[in-house]
Every structure is written in C-alpha cells, then in structure tokens.
Amino acid sequence: MLNLSKVLDLTMKLFFVLLGVTVIVLNLISMGNQQYVFLAESFLRGHLDFVSMPPHLTDMVLHNGYYYWPNPPFPAVLLMFPVIILKLLGVASIQGFVQIVIGALLVWVLGKVFITCSSKKDVTFWVYSFIFSTCFIGVFSLPSSWYFASTVSVFLTFLAYLLYKKGYSMAYVGIIYGLILLTRFTAALGIIFYIFLLLSENNFRFKFDRALTKKFILLLAPFFCALVIMISYNYARYGTWKELGYVQNFLFPWHQTARNYGIFSLKHVPGNIYYLFLNAPKPVLSDGVSKVLKFPFVEADPWGMSIFVTSPVFFLLFTLAYKKRESILLLLTSFLIMIPILLYFGVGWIQFGYRYSLDFLPYLFIALVSEYSLKNKELSLGVKLVILLSSLSNFYLLFTMLT
C-alpha cells in the first residue's frame, strides 16, 4: 500500500534539490546592489567612505563630500577576505557566492536546532519549511545588500540559539549578538530572549546570585562592546555618535514622504500591520480596465505580503498550548522585536513577503516547531502538504518579481 507520508518526504527532498539549485543559480547571476562588496574594498584600502561608487545612490549618505553606506558594517567586514580571493578568481557575484556558503551553513545549523525540539524524522521537513516556505526565500535568492544583511543576521540568530542549546557559555551568545548588532539593529533586540532566560533561572526574582551575575556579564559585555564599536564607527564617519545616516540618506520619493512623518511614528503602524499580516498578491489584469486576468494571473506585491501568505504554516501558532516557558519567551521576544519594526517608516520595499519580519521570524519558528512537536509525534500529512504547496507558491510569486 502506498505510504503518503513517505511520498511527501521524497517529494520534499526532490524539491529541496531543485529549488536549492535554482537559488544557487539566482545568486551567481545576480550582479547588482553589491554595496557591501564596494564597502569591503574601501575598508581594505583604509577608508570608511566609498572609494569606488556603486551604480546608484539608493540609501547612500552624502556627508562633507563623501558617500557612506548607512547600514552597520559587519557584512562588509565579513566580505573583506572573500573579496580578495574571489576577485582573483574572477567571481562576479561576490555577495551571491558568499550568500550560498552562508545558506549552506544555515541549513546545517537549522538541522542541529530542530533536532533538539522535534522528531528526528521531521527535521529535514522543518528545515525545508524555513528555507523555502517563509519570506526568507526572497532574501536568500537575491544577494543585494539589503537582503544579504538579513541572511547574515538570520544565520547568526539560529547559531546563537544552537550554542545556547548545546550548553556553550553565554559569552558566545553575547559575541554573536554583538555581530548581529553590527548587521541589523532590530535583529539584535533578540538578545532580550537570553536576558529573559537568565532571569527565569531565578523565577524573575531580582536577587543577587554570583553565578547568574557572571552569566549576565558574559552575555552583555561583548554586546555593549559592539555598541561602542558602532558608536565609534558613526563618529568617525559623521563627527557625531547620534547620526546613523537614516535622516539624510537618499531615498525614493515615496519613502522620503513617509520619513517626513517621522523615522519612528505611530502613524506608520497601520501600514506596517497591513503588509505584515494582511496584504495578498496582486491580480495581473489583461487590459487594465476589466477584471480579466492574464498570465501569470497573480504576482507578488513588491511592497510586501502577509506572513500568512508566504508561510501559511504559521496559522498553526493559534492552535498550540505553549506549555514550555521557553516558547512563551520566544513569542514575547518576537513581539518586542516587532514593535520598532511596526513603528518604522520603511516598509521594506522592494521585497518578497515582509522581509523585516526575518528579525523575529526565527524565534516564532522555533516556538512553532517546539510546541507542535510537543503536541504531535510527527508532522501530519496536511501540514507537510501545506509546506510543499507554499514553497511552490513562493517560488512562483518570487519569479513574478524577477520577470
């Protein structure tokens, strides 16, 4: 008799190979928006500004006649050695090549993470789900600098969790979150999860404990060192620690108009909520007047789409009991990271799905895997089918953005 579960498992493995090869090809043929490569070259020549200019000025900061990249510098530092080697080898898409390597490492880390909280035979399916059935596939497929930073921060977030689960010192977690701070500010707020974990060791009662205090120091010291580095980096560029570059960087007119309401403002919350939770793909009208559709019939909205469109598996979050304290802390951390994202003027355009959600999505996903596996011995046929179909839907919609 045909075992449908095994058929779905084999289908998933086939898709893993086919979609994985597609992602590799997309990374290697993508030549644009390699600002971190240009910045790495500047660092190698002892400059903080762009010595060689990228092809366009989007997000650039012009200060005292020099052009700067406003985003944190770690991705460029990470690329310094690969830039030297890959330039000699004639590799054109350097960010794409490095992103492939990071993606391969992420797959390995995800496997190690999910084996700690799910059935061993479901691990590969959960890994497949995060890579292909979330908005992560959008940043993983296109190595432009904005997406590359998210790939780096997602990898570091899961790596920190793995080291914590393996019992490594909190110093390693602190170092990793220092690197995340130097990659994406909002993603670095995830350190709150580990602060909560340490506080939970005393049942959130504030009393002196020498061993616990040592853990806090090990966690927070490297994080604050990274903060000092970021402040010093900004001071060296702009002559003040207050300037991050987001007040004066070059933006498209619609983003400039949104920024006029404030970089962070309650006025931005409804729009961000809409694109994070509600927005759907757009119909492709045949003539622009009637409702007759033409191929590809629907297309991804570059302003973003709901996480429930790119990841319908997240509907399972509303069905779980959350019996583990760690899961509750993961959800709370996700919510706290979400707050500044919802207040921020930049929705994330151009993007597949709502890419800023990747700052908190790892915590949601770990909570989902952990609690679902606690409730169920293994992935159901229905959940496996939803994951497979959503991965194909994601690729279909992603290619409507590329064509």
Higher pLDDT residue, 42 or 260? Answer: 42
Query: Has residue 60 got a pLDDT over 90?
Result: no
The domain locations on the chain are 4-285+295-402
- Residue identified by tokens 């190595």 is 143
Evaluated on CA atoms 229, 231, 233, 236, the torsion sign reads negative
Q: Tell me the pLDDT of the chain averaged across its residues.
A: 93
Query: Has residue 148 got a pLDDT over 90?
Result: yes
User: How far is the C-alpha of 278 from the C-alpha of 194, rounded, in Å?
Assistant: 31
How many CB atoms lie under 10 A from the CB of residue 246? 17
- Summarised one tens digit per residue, pLDDT across range 66-76 is 999 999 999 99
User: How far is the C-alpha of 138 from the C-alpha of 394, rounded, in Å?
Assistant: 8
- Summarised one tens digit per residue, pLDDT across range 174-190 is 999 999 999 999 999 99
Burial 17-52 (b: 16+ CB within 10 A, else e): eebbeebbebbbebeebbbbbbbbbbbeeeebbbbe
| Phi, then psi, of 166 in degrees rounded to 5 | -85, 0
| Phi, then psi, of 198 in degrees rounded to 5 | -65, -40
pLDDT at 1: 44
User: Which pTM was predicted?
Assistant: 0.95
Query: Has residue 248 got a pLDDT over 80?
Result: no
Q: Are 32 and 55 in contact (CB under 8 A)?
A: yes
pLDDT at 250: 64
- Summarised one tens digit per residue, pLDDT across range 296-328 is 999 999 999 999 999 999 999 999 999 899 999
Higher pLDDT residue, 379 or 59? Answer: 379
pLDDT at 403: 78
Provide mean pLDDT across the span 225-243.
90
Which among 403, 395, 295, 386 has a CA at the least distance from the CA of 353?
Answer: 395
Percent of the chain with pLDDT over 70: 98
Query: Has residue 203 got a pLDDT over 80?
Result: no
pLDDT band at 239 (very low <50, low <70, confident <90, very high): confident
pLDDT at 247: 66
pLDDT at 241: 77
User: How far is the C-alpha of 139 from the C-alpha of 123, rounded, in Å?
Assistant: 22
pLDDT at 383: 96
Provide mean pLDDT across the span 122-149.
96
Burial of residue 132, with CB atoms counted within 10 A of its CB: 0-12 exposed, 13-18 middle, 19 or more buried: buried
User: How far is the C-alpha of 340 from the C-alpha of 219, rounded, in Å?
Assistant: 23
pLDDT at 108: 98
Provide mean pLDDT across the span 192-212.
86
pLDDT at 249: 63
